[in-house]
A = this chain, B = another copy of it.
Amino acid sequence: MTQPDNPSLRTRQRQQREAQLLQLARHILQHEGFAALSMDRLTALSDVSKGTIYNHFCSKEDVLTALSISSLQRLNLLFQRAVQHGTHSRECALALHYCYCLFGESEPALFLCLFSAATPAVLEKASPERLALRLQLEQQLLAQCEQLIQQACLHLVLPPAAGTLVSHYAYLNWALAFGSNALFAPGQHLGLFRQISLSDVCLQGVNLLFDGMGWQPLSTQQDYQQYWRQLDLQLKPGLLEIIHKELS
């Protein structure tokens, strides 16, 4: 029979190598651009053969999907940390948006993976296993948002409305956060929105959306810009630690 430690050791080594490969892929994206990411290039930078790389990823697009998964895992951790910071539900929700914005600003390459991995060309060639994992992680993120919204309804600081309110609200929060971040990078690249600060516009967008929802206290009653600055001072260092843990 095999030794009891052997399989777990193998698994650990395998995971470690996969993390190294993803690290290298990230390096290529960051320093040589997305067009430079090829299996050849990845093989050249790694210390394994092409066949071994295909033992981890079924296609080049699967590599991008794996990077998007590690982004989602990191976002989940950020959310878990940030949601504890606020003193009421609207502050907590704002803290989640702060996480998303911070992630996009401090790790643009990883955010662009998240963006690119949602593209049909990538979705079509990613492995079913990774797509399932991605779905699970996105559901986890959504669940954190929905829980917060539900809590706000229960505490009567968020007026109830008809229909599938909670999932719609969560969708719209996600859409606004994703859209704000996704527009920014290519916009800058093209020369659009040159005078806009991502952080400012995200904060403003969330304020408007939450005010529209009637989520109390409204931005006329509390200065959320000040809370955002508070997040910068109190939460940012811990979040950056999470983002950079086991990165580079």
Contacts and interface: CB of A to CB of B under 8 A. Distances in A.
Among all A-B residue pairs, the 8 with the closest Cβ atoms: A179-B179, A208-B212, A212-B212, A175-B179, A211-B212, A34-B121, A34-B120, A118-B186
Given A176-B179, A182-B179, A196-B167, A189 B123 contact: yes
Classify the secondary structure of A's interface with B.
helix
Contacts of A180: 171-172, 175, 179
24 contacts: A118-B186, A120-B186, A138-B187, A139-B192, A142-B192, A164-B196, A167-B195, A167-B196, A168-B196, A171-B180, A171-B183, A172-B176, A172-B180, A172-B205, A175-B182, A175-B205, A176-B205, A178-B182, A179-B182, A205-B209, A207-B212, A210-B212, A211-B211, A212-B212
A177 interface: yes
A172 B124 contact: no
Contacts of A193: 167, 171
